[in-house]
Structures are given as C-alpha cells and as structure tokens.
Structure 1
Amino acid sequence: MTRPRLDLRAMPETGAVSPLELFLDLVFVFALTQVTATMAAGLSGAGLLRGLLVVALLWWSWTGYAWLANLVRADQGIARFVMFAAMAAMFVLALAIPEAFGDAPGGLSGPVVVAVCYFVFRALHLLLFYAASRGDVALRGQVLRFTPAMLGGTVLLLAAAATEGTARIWLWVAALIVDYAGTYFGGVRGWRLRSAGHFAERHGLIVIVALGESIVAIGVGVARLPISWPIVVASALGLALAGGLWWAYFGFSSAAGEHALAAAGDGERAALARDAYSFLHLPLIAGIVLLALGLKKTLEYVGDEQAHTLTDPLKGVALAALTGGLALHLLAQAAFRRRVTGRLDAALPVAALLIVPFAVAGTAMPALATLSAVTLITLAAVTVDSRRHTAPPR
C-alpha cells in the first residue's frame, strides 16, 4: 500500500485554482453572509462600521491563503491538512461574528473566540509559508518580518475583547492598521508569485462569491413576504445591478490584471499583486457587501405593504449602504485598473460620482425609483466602458 506524501509541492506557472481552494471560499462566503445579516439585524451607523471592520479582518485572513496557494499546491501533501484546519478556524470565526463586538449571555466570549480563531487561521498560514521558504533565504526573511504584524494584531484583538463600546472599536481599528501596515512597510522583495493566471483567477472567483452573496441577500430580504409586482421589479433591478458589476469586472478588469501580472518582472510582480489585489480588492469586496445589505433592506422595504407604501423613500443607513456600497465598488474597480494599466478609465468613477448624491436625494424619492436610478446609471456606465475596451484574451 502506497503511503501518501506529506511534503509541499510547488505551484507550476500554469497552475489553476484547485477545488480545495473553492471549498475554502464557501466558508468565506458564509462569513460574508454572517456580516450582512448582523448589520441588517442592528441597522445603524455604528453597526455599519463594525461590519466593515469584520470584512477587513476576513479579507486579510483570506488573501494570505491566495498568496500561499500560489506558491504551493493547496490540495496536495501537508498543505491539504493545513487548509482543512484553516477552514475550521474560519468557520468558527464566522459563527462568532454576531458576537464579535458584543458578547451574548452564556457560552464562550464571542470577542475572544474571534481573536483566537483569527490567530489560528493566520498562524497556520505563516507556518506553512515558513515551511515553503526552506532554501529560499529572501522568502524566509520576508515571512519573519511579516510575523510581528500578525502577532501585534492578535494581541490588540484580545485586548479589545476585554473592553467595551468605543474602546473596543478603536482597538479593532488599531489591530487592522498594525496588520495591514506591517505588510505594506515590510516590503515585497522576498514574496513569490509563481502563476499570474492562478492569482488573477483566485481573486476573480472571490468577486463572484461576493456578488453571489448579494443575490442571496435579495432572496433572503423577501423570503417571508408574499410575492408582489414591486418585489418582482426590485428583484430584477437588483439582479441587473449585480450583473452590471460582474460585467465591468470580468469584461475587462480581470483579464487586464492577469496580463499586467504576467508581463511584470519578478520584482515588480509582487508589488503589483500586493497593491492591486491584496489592498485594492478590499474596498471592491466591501462595496459588494454594503450593496448586498442595501438590496436586502430595499427589497424588504418595497415588499412590506403593511409597513410602507410604494411612495415611501429609502432612508438612513439602508440608503447609505445601497448608494455608498455601489459607489465604493465602482471607484475601487477604477483604482484597480489604474494600478494595472497605468491609465484612468472615466466611465466607472463618473458613475460613482453620479450615484453618491442619491444618498441625499434618495430621501425624497420612492425606494423603487432610487434603485432604478442607480441601476440605470451603473448599466449605462458599464455599457460605455465595454464599448471603449476589449478584454485581452486570458
């Protein structure tokens, strides 16, 4: 009987995303769903801020594994077992998201569980990276420089668990700043990126996962309500809006990013991947999460005929999430393109600037009219953008 090999196996330059990585993404999308549901349950400005902090924490956890799986095969050898252990940590963290900033009576401390799971998830990533750096002095040095930021962020999260209210939020902010800044100022000279195609595909798939979460939010928002024509119209508009964002990203952005990575030299490639993907994809994903929240509340609003009429406007945090999330995503896509192509495409940022005023003007418009307006603006911008750009072949 042949014993399974437990050594690490290098990712080839032509490597593709493995099914095991997609399995990890399913856990990640559950965590995003938990964030949206938690923000919707306690709809407030503070709740929105807390939700965005959790998204930033989840993103920094996930993106490290995108780098790791680009260096070694995630579905072979010992890496496979590390990936399953990381999934377990991420899943428990996702379960604790509703208690990340306020512990519920009984059971374990939610904030402590989040901090410990974050540490386990990141520690497994670093240990596997350390093992993969054997024989590569530059990479091992980079991993060692990266470690204090992760440890510092975890300590601050544990400190946040011992506080309450505003102090807890500020400690979360400090933890994320330490972790993100430690990566940025630690440089990129030791990081390795073997496959441009794998890295671009990995992030493209997570964009699809996030957009899928927005579709789920549309269904969940009206699952308990009787079907009606306002629900049908609003659902179609929400799906068209998500489709427009998909079109903008996969019509040009995704392929442009892959080509830029493939054409970059070894030193430039890591910096480009860090800036365009690890950093600029965070607001891109956060915008989709906010949009999902806005769509969820909009569908509830237009579908609940007992609480609202069709002339009632969308207000407050729900309106801010809908318009702000959409504008944030469009601006993030424009910034991503600017980083990978060196030029600024006007259509998407102009659309974002046209959508932002609806955060105020929408309070004087019926909710369905606001959703229609921002959807039309987005689709018009994407249509103009697609006519100006032809995506290069993958």
Structure 2
Amino acid sequence: MGPLELFYDLVVVALVAQAAHHLAEHLTWRGIGEYSAVFVLVWIAWLNGSLHHELHGHEDVRARVTFLLQILVMVPLGAFIPGAGGAEGAAFAVAAGVLFAVLALLWLLASLRDRPEYRRSSRLYVIGTAVCAAVLIVSAVLPAAARVWTWGVLAAAYLACFAAVVLKAAPVALAALSVTHALIERFGLLIIIVLGETVTGVVSGLAAEPVDALTLTVGLIAVVVGFGAWWTYFDFAGHREPRRTPAATVQWMLTHLPLTAAVAAMGAAMVSLVEHAHDPSTAPATAWVLCGGAAVVLISTVLVSATLQAWRTRQGLYRPLSRTCAAAALACLALGAARPAPPVLALILVLIFGIPWGLAVAYRLRHEETVAQE
C-alpha cells in the first residue's frame, strides 16, 4: 500500500471523524440514525474508490487524478456532515450524489477497457452507482426526516445489489474481485485509523472537564477498551486471507462495515463517559452506544473470522472463539442495560474483552510449536 492510498484513506477518516463528533454531541436515537445513514454512505464511497483502484489503478498520473477528483468532492461533503440531518442535509445530499456520480463515471471509463467476460458485471455496477447518485441528489428536496430514511434505505439496497452482483458474477470476474493482500491491508488500516477515534473521544472528554483522579482513571480505562477492540479484531481476523468463494468475499467485505461503524461510535460515546465520570450511573445513551458498539465489534469479528481459510484449519481456536464472543457480546448488552457508574462500566468492558484475549493466549500456549510454524 502506497502513500497515495494512505492519503485517500485519511481523507475518508476525516469524514468519519465528523460523523463521530456529531454523534458524540447527539447521543439520541435520532442522532444514531443520522450517524448510521451518513457513515454507511461514506463507507460505500470508500469501498467503491478502493475497489476501483485495486482493479484498475496503478501508481501513475491517472490514479493520482482519480483520487484527487474524489478528494475534492469529499472535502465539502465532510463540511456538511455535522448538519446532514438538518439544515445542511440538502447540501450533503447533493455533494454525496456528485461523489457517487464521479465514482460511476470512473467505473464506466474502466468498463470500456474491460474484456467481454467482465462487461456484464461492470455494467450492472455502473448502473447501480449512477442510480444511487441520482437518488441522493433528488433526496435534497425531501424533508429532513424523510431524507435520512431515504439515505438509509438507499444504502441498504445498494449493498444488497453489490452482494448480488458479486455472488452472480462469472467465475473469471470473481477471480479478478478476489480479496488480495493489498485489499486486506487497506481494510485493516481503515480499522486502525478509525480506532484512533476512541483515543480522540477520551482526549475530548478530558479536555472538556477539569481533570481529577477519577476522570483520568475513567479516561485511561476507556483507552484500554479501545485497545481491546483492536486486539480482538487483529488477533483473530485482521491481516488474514478469506476463502476465495463468492459468499466469503461478500461476507468479508460487508462485515467490515458494522465493525468500522461500531468502533467509531464507541469513540463518540467515550466523550460522554469521561465527561460524566462522577455520575452514579452511566447515561442510557452513552451506555447503550458504548456497550452495543463493543457487542457489534465482537460479533463482527466472528463473522469476519468465519470467512477465513484459518477458520477451517484452526478449528480448535475459532470454534471456541465464536461461542466465547457470542457470550461476551450478550454480556456487553446486559452491561449496557445495567448502566453502572462510568468507571465500573469501563472496567467491566475491559474484563469482557479480556475473555477472548485469554482464549487466544491459552490456545497459543497449548499449541506453541504449531503457531510458530504458521
């Protein structure tokens, strides 16, 4: 992965940060809905740009121009994200529509150079992306609430169509779309960068309040919670190759969406957790977003792991992992419902993440020689 792709990913994460910061200030059901709709659209655009470069890009002037063109649209798009659910929703819709129109154009130009066996899949993808762009632009005239719902339904439909195209693609086209080491690195890097939002959330919470021993303790424990999300994903799923089947490819790619969104949402909730460190119980929205996000991270990690080649070759690790993470996710939801004081909630989350850590350590100690060979 070169500096060009890294620059592009950092721009995308700037948009994610805008969405997370808005969620941190609006921890309500409406705020969660707006965050989800905006995040999914941004993630789909990132997936589009990443796949386009993976399949058709090179380290040349053309690739630099295509990335620059996308970035020039993303910058105003990011500026409209904080008000996407309200006054600036129309501007966000138009900017997002323009971004998807640019992506449709890039895929169209690439399809003109495709071999005949790729053209059907390419044509369907171009049409779907162009329709998405048109719907986004038209949504600018809708009322705010209807507009956000439209984005959510549109994103779900787009992802369903993407999955259908991949699952029904000709074998030769599917081979071209297989998950490469470069793509694995891109997805892993995005997770790493988004994990920075957990640290940003803690720092923002500490900066907003006078720092005393309890506030600092909650902040530092919250950082360990973010570290737990990193450890869980990369210890079991990150930087590993999925099986080369249509179903595994789709599941591997799309499961990274809720995983990434949950990590960023956890960072947003950590702002409130630290700011209210002295409260006798954690605020309901803060507890549910933080603990629910942790549950999504655990379940998504299992779903990504289930697509890996190692899922079948290392059943002694991954089968217990799936059961352990499911139980840990339920424990996270129970913790969110209980809403203990912020330091207690953060500490218990660390302990919950520690369960799969302990599983991994125990497995490696029992199979030290086998793991070393792998």
TM-score range, shorter chain: 0.7 to 0.9
Q: Show the counterpart of 1:89.
A: 73
Q: Show the counterpart of 2:196.
A: 212
Alignment partner of 1:112 is 2:87? no
Q: Show the counterpart of 1:324.
A: 292
1:220-274 per-residue CA deviation (whole Å, 9 max, x = no partner) reads: 1221322211222112211211112211222231233x2x35xx3xxx2x55333
User: 1:348, 1:382 within 8 Å by CA — same for their partners in 2?
Assistant: no
Q: Show the counterpart of 1:359.
A: 336
1:119 partner amino acid: G
Unaligned runs of 5+ in 2: 313-317, 365-369
1:391 CA displacement: 6.8
1:387 CA displacement: 3.1
1:24 CA displacement: 0.9
2:292 partner amino acid: G
User: 1:251, 1:386 within 8 Å by CA — same for their partners in 2?
Assistant: no
Residues 371, 194 of structure 1: alpha-carbon distance in 2 compared, 3 angstrom cutoff: closer
Residues 333, 193 of structure 1: alpha-carbon distance in 2 compared, 3 angstrom cutoff: same
1:249 partner amino acid: Y
Secondary structure at 2:306's aligned position in 1? Answer: helix
Give the paired residue count: 354
Give the TM-score normalised by structure 2. Answer: 0.87
Q: Show the counterpart of 1:173.
A: 152
- Which structure's residues are more often helix, by fraction? 2
Moved more, 242-251 or 45-54: 242-251
Alignment partner of 1:185 is 2:167? no
1:199-219 per-residue CA deviation (whole Å, 9 max, x = no partner) reads: 110100000011012211111
Alignment partner of 1:348 is 2:329? no
User: 1:29, 1:210 within 8 Å by CA — same for their partners in 2?
Assistant: yes
Q: Show the counterpart of 1:200.
A: 184
Distance 1:73 1:152 in 2: 24
User: 2:208, 2:275 within 8 Å by CA — same for their partners in 1?
Assistant: no
User: 2:13, 2:194 within 8 Å by CA — same for their partners in 1?
Assistant: yes
Identity %: 23
RMSD: 2.2
Where do 1:1-394 residues align within 5 Å? 17-103=1-87, 110-133=88-111, 134-186=113-165, 187-189=168-170, 190-191=173-174, 192-193=176-177, 196-256=180-240, 258=241, 260-261=242-243, 264=244, 268=245, 271-277=247-253, 279-302=254-277, 310-340=278-308, 341=311, 344=319, 345=321, 346-362=323-339, 365-388=340-363
User: 1:255, 1:391 within 8 Å by CA — same for their partners in 2?
Assistant: no
Give the TM-score normalised by structure 1. Answer: 0.83
Distance 2:146 2:98 in 1: 24
